[in-house]
Structure 1
């Protein structure tokens, strides 16, 4: 099974110049726990912002959600994998590095996102089909 078979193609993105408040609003509206941070230009990398990034900024650093931009706290470059990669390699990468989601690219452009939940769901579905 390949990453392209289980990845989520509808990825919610946010501008790197959006405030934390704007990012939180987009997350809530779309019922997601992370956002892909758009590239600023063709040679830039994608980033990712999660609840964890936001909470660390708000609580630990006493950041102002109206003054801090997404670009200032996102993980960048985000870890990316090819849509043609076998799912077992994506899972191994997630476990070894300790991340819950990977951006999926095709020709260096965003094609989707895959999460640990997607992989576990695919494994369970496959196991149910075999049973």
Structure 2
């Protein structure tokens, strides 16, 4: 099974200069725990912002959610993989690097996102006995 077979294609993104408040609102509206931070130009890398990044900034650094941009606190560059990669290699990368999600690219463009939940869900579907 390939990454493209189970990845989520409708990726929740946010502009790099959006505020933390805007990111939190977007996460709540989309029902997601992370957002892909868009590249600022063709030579930039994608970033990813999660609830963890946000909480660390707000609590640990007394950050103001209306003054800090997502670009300043996101994990960047985000780890990306090819849509044509076998899922077992994506899972191994996640385990070895202690990541919960990977961005999926086609060429240099964002094609999707794959999470540990996506992989575990696909394994469970394959392992379900037929009725």
Instruction: Determine if the TM-score, normalized by the shorter chain, exceeds 0.5.
Output: yes
User: 1 CA distance for matches of 2:59 and 2:129?
Assistant: 45
Aligned-residue Cα RMSD (Å) equals 1.1
Aligned pairs for 1:21-100 (under 5 A) are 21-100=21-100
Moved over 6 A (4+): none
Residue 127 of structure 2 corresponds to 127
Deviation at 1:109, TM superposition (A): 0.4
TM-score, length-scaled by structure 2:
0.98
Residue 48 of structure 1 aligns to a residue whose secondary structure is: strand
TM-score, length-scaled by structure 1:
0.98
User: 1 CA distance for matches of 2:17 and 2:49?
Assistant: 13
User: 2 CA distance for matches of 1:54 and 1:121?
Assistant: 27
Deviation at 1:100, TM superposition (A): 0.2
Residue 14 of structure 1 corresponds to 14
Deviation at 1:129, TM superposition (A): 5.3
Q: Which runs of 5+ in 1 are unaligned?
A: none
